[in-house]
Amino acid sequence: MSRYALLKSPLWIAGIVIALATIVAFVNLGFWQLRRLEERRTINATIEARSTADPVELVEAIATFGADPEALAYRRVLVEGVYDQLEEVLVVATTLNGRPGHDVLTPLRSDSVNIAVDRGWVPIDTEGPPVVDAAPPTGSVEVVGMLLEGQTHRSLGTPGADGSYEQIGRIDLGVLAGQWGSDLLPVYLLVESEDPPSGDLPLRRPPPEPSEGRHLGYAIQWFTFAAIVAIGFPALVIRGQAAPSL
């Protein structure tokens, strides 16, 4: 009988099929992670180009690129308006430099603009909203900052009896439009500077930094797993055939 005749048994055939399917799956997962890495690098190039450009008037940016959040994200803009502190909302459970706290989210309004503004971070024991210790400038203010898309992760939290939020788990612009007005822009502004400036609080949150994430590391892991199966299964076959029959 052939030395490898045992491989024709249903058990070994099933094992071979499973091993081949596993190798194919692991290799595909590795290439998927490489594609994700390429997508991330493309996004990073977009962030770099947009975030290093000089700020333009918000209305000019909208006129040029439209109101699509993806087209506006990461662009630096200048907008003039009046903060409506009474409508302020706290974005809870955020951190800055490892410290727990909240972000202060305030609508900025003018005749032509209604936009949510992330004015920065306050310590976790801060009372509000409105946050008295982090009051915005009164009257007309000129704000420079970066436009960002709304957030979809994390839970929203619990609304009040009237359905509105004083504290919210994420910057969900669709939800906030329900209490700040349907004309609320589908992007929010992360403050870089104000004229006139705020006081010591809130602390400015740095803009998001481009990152490649862990896609390359994950790709290497999947390819490694595929190699282990590709090498290990034949070794198991050889060992099985070399084992003495009882």
pLDDT of residue 1: 47
Q: Say how far apart CA 74 and CA 69 lie, in whole Å.
A: 10
* Residue 116, pLDDT above cutoff 90: yes
Distances (CA, A) of 239 to 15, 233, 243: 14, 10, 6
Mean pLDDT to the nearest integer, 23-36: 95
Across 62-169, the runs of DSSP E, i.e. the strands, are 76-83, 89-96, 99-109, 114-123, 140-149, 167-168
- For the record, the structure tokens of 155 come out as 């839970």
DSSP code string of 197-236: ---S-SBPPPPPPP--TTHHHHHHHHHHHHHHHHHHHHHH
- The architecture in CATH of the region 75-195 reads Beta Barrel (2.40)
**Of 144, 148, 143, which Cα lies nearest the Cα of 69?**
148
Q: Dump pLDDT digits (tens) for 195-240.
A: 999 999 999 999 888 888 899 999 999 999 999 999 987 777 667 6
Among 59-68, 101-110, 136-145, 152-161, the range scoring the smallest mean pLDDT is 152-161
Mean pLDDT to the nearest integer, 98-122: 96
pLDDT of residue 2: 54
| Cross-strand partners of 114 | 109
98 φ/ψ sector (left φ>0, alpha ψ -120 to 50, else beta): left
Q: Is the dihedral of CA 93, 77, 69, 131 positive or negative?
A: positive
Q: Say how far apart CA 10 and CA 169 lie, in whole Å.
A: 54
Q: Dump pLDDT digits (tens) for 161-191.
A: 888 999 999 999 999 999 999 999 999 999 9
Distances (CA, A) of 25 to 217, 220, 224, 225: 17, 14, 12, 10
Residues 6+ apart with CB under 8 A from 149: 69, 70, 73, 186, 187
* Residue 128, pLDDT above cutoff 80: yes
Mean pLDDT to the nearest integer, 142-170: 92
Q: Say how far apart CA 237 and CA 39 lie, in whole Å.
A: 40
DSSP state of 34: H
Angle at which helices 10-51 and 215-242 cross, to 10°: 170
**Whole-prediction pTM:** 0.81
Mean pLDDT to the nearest integer, 111-122: 96
pLDDT of residue 245: 52
- For the record, the structure tokens of 202 come out as 């809130």
